[in-house]
Chain A
Amino acid sequence: MKAATINILAIILLVLTLSTAAQAQIAVVVNKNNPMADISMKMLERAYLGKTTVFSDGQNIVLAEYAPLMESFFESVLGMTLNKAKVHWLKLILSGGTAIPPTKFDDVEVNKKFVMHNRGAISFMDMADADDTVKILTIDGKSPSAEDYPLK
């Protein structure tokens, strides 16, 4: 009886954890010295596809990606699975494309430090992890707290 209760609790905890991960609100962040405050979904897509390689102020874009949220980010922003996004980058690099592929981080603190130290960096992370060491961008004028924020 006791074992069954523990099992049920474990399952509930697992479901809660998974649903929290699935509902993670993704914040798009840049270096604090980046003058940009807003980014369009189109520009975000073009940057992560390697089609746009410079910000409007002429700074080279340095892409970073946070591993735990890559799947949902690529699905929402690029409309691609992780595998398709990787294949896209392989084609781009091997055909001489000028964009540099994203640097992948498993640890959110390292991800933040990368953004903090790279003037042209752009990355994404869970909203709860985004602190004042990075600048959170609005997307198409919508802040992460807005109801219709596109990366909820």
Chain B
Amino acid sequence: MNKGLNNRIAANCWAKRIFVFLLAMIALGLLAEPGYAEQSKLEVYGFFDMEAEVSNKDAAGKIWTFDQHHLNIITIYPLDNKFRVFAEVAWEHGPFYSPSEMIGNIYLARAYLEYKYSDAFQLRMGTFLTPFGIYNERHDATPTFISTFVPQSVYGEHELSFMGKGRLFAKHGTGVQVLGTLSANKWEGKYQLYLSNGRGPSPTERDNNANKGIGGRLIISLPIETLRLGASYYTDRNGDANNARQNALGFDSEFDYEDIHLETEVLLASLERLDISGAPSGDFRKISGYYLLGAYTFFDKLTPFARYEWIGDNIDKDGHTHNATTFGINYSITPSVKLKNEIQFRSEGETVNSYQFYVASIAVAF
């Protein structure tokens, strides 16, 4: 059998396993005793979105297109007062798998057992979203985003000469994470520390090198309660043929006052190519990026916003810069249903390959 067919069969198996897992979770919830004495055993949440987009980047892009982008189901099953199982399954781009074709993606975005000793100490074991920046743990939950898309300067895939395109930190991690919230007077701090397989060909199953994905995130809420400051760190070694040691450091800040929302993030990352023995080969790249976003909400419904972002890929050497300016306006039909419109003006590379990108979307949380 060829590799493609094997992949399709494996994908089909995973789709079936996920379906059976969801059925089992729902059955457990139905078996739970109803009543006042305890909360419903199974909680189900999720989100859905659909986009209509067009750009003038190339001829094909000028065609209007619809994209049923996300349907994610989150199930939370409390085992008792201390333990719970959290799982999220994602169906992206309306997946359809058959022996002859594969459209879209189905994957397990999160699955972990969580133990809560107290608010100050919790432990997660399994696959989690890497705590990095404002958005990574919100995953693809577009109903909670201001823009339809997360800022590409921090969360996007960057052009890297020796690793192809990739994020500067792993979106998911499989391993253990400790987290908690500490507060004193009006100060509050949330910490998250984790040890994971990092990246690799099959990171939820095994690590292919001795170096683990290690990182953490710290969020401080100041006595000025509307201001939050965060810092995130991630380091990993990708053990593929293109060995590379990655380091990513991010800083973020959010400010809310009445109906004004401001946020900014900065990302500083480096990649160092390693030879087969793990020694540095001398190829070293630096990537940085940032964005600034401002939004104002009128009548609790209408939110115009603007965002500017900049990315510098190895600009000290042979790299180039990108920037994007986004203007948009969102309308909250209800707190859970948002209608979004935005236009992005993008500029890529030294030759300033500029184009515009328009997207309208509806995003629903449930």
A contacts, CB < 8 Å to B: 42, 46, 51-54, 58, 60, 62, 81-84, 86-87, 90-91, 93-96, 98, 100, 103, 113-114, 116-118
Complex interface: chain A residues within 8 A of B35 (CB) = 117
Say yes or no: B43 contacts A100, CB within 8 Å.
Answer: yes
A-B contact pairs, 18 of them (CB 8 A): A42-B186, A51-B181, A51-B183, A53-B119, A81-B300, A86-B335, A90-B336, A90-B365, A91-B138, A94-B45, A94-B47, A94-B139, A95-B137, A95-B141, A96-B129, A98-B114, A118-B36, A118-B39
The A-contacting residues of B in range 48-95, CB under 8 angstroms, are 74, 81, 84, 86
| B37 close to A (CB within 8 Å) | yes
* Bitwise interface map of B from 328 to 353 toward A, beta carbon under 8 Å scored 1, else 0: 00001001100000000000000000
B contacts, CB < 8 Å to A: 35-39, 43, 45, 47, 74, 81, 84, 86, 110, 114, 116, 118-119, 122, 128-129, 137-139, 141, 143-144, 181, 183, 186, 188, 300, 332, 335-336, 365
Say yes or no: B81 contacts A114, CB within 8 Å.
Answer: no
Complex interface: chain A residues within 8 A of B47 (CB) = 94
Given the known A-B contacts A83-B300, A86-B335, are A93 and B39 also in contact in the complex, defined by CB atoms under 8 Å? no
Given the known A-B contacts A114-B36, A117-B36, are A94 and B335 also in contact in the complex, defined by CB atoms under 8 Å? no
Max chain B Cβ within 10 angstroms of own Cβ: one of A81, A90, A103, A118: A90
Complex interface: chain A residues within 8 A of B139 (CB) = 94-95
Say yes or no: A117 contacts B81, CB within 8 Å.
Answer: no
Lowest 6 CB-CB distances: which A-B pairs, in order?
A117-B36, A86-B335, A94-B141, A95-B137, A83-B300, A91-B144
Q: How many A-B residue pairs have CB under 8 A?
A: 71
Say yes or no: A46 contacts B138, CB within 8 Å.
Answer: no
In the bound complex, CA of A71 to CA of B53 (Å):
37
Say yes or no: B138 contacts A95, CB within 8 Å.
Answer: yes
In the bound complex, CA of A121 to CA of B137 (Å):
28
Say yes or no: A116 contacts B36, CB within 8 Å.
Answer: yes
Q: How far is the CB of A94 from chain B (nearest CB, A)?
A: 4
In the bound complex, CA of A82 to CA of B336 (Å):
12
In the bound complex, CA of A83 to CA of B336 (Å):
9
Contact of A117 among B37, B43, B137, B181 (CB under 8 A): B37
Say yes or no: A96 contacts B39, CB within 8 Å.
Answer: no
In the bound complex, CA of A53 to CA of B45 (Å):
19
Complex interface: chain A residues within 8 A of B110 (CB) = 96
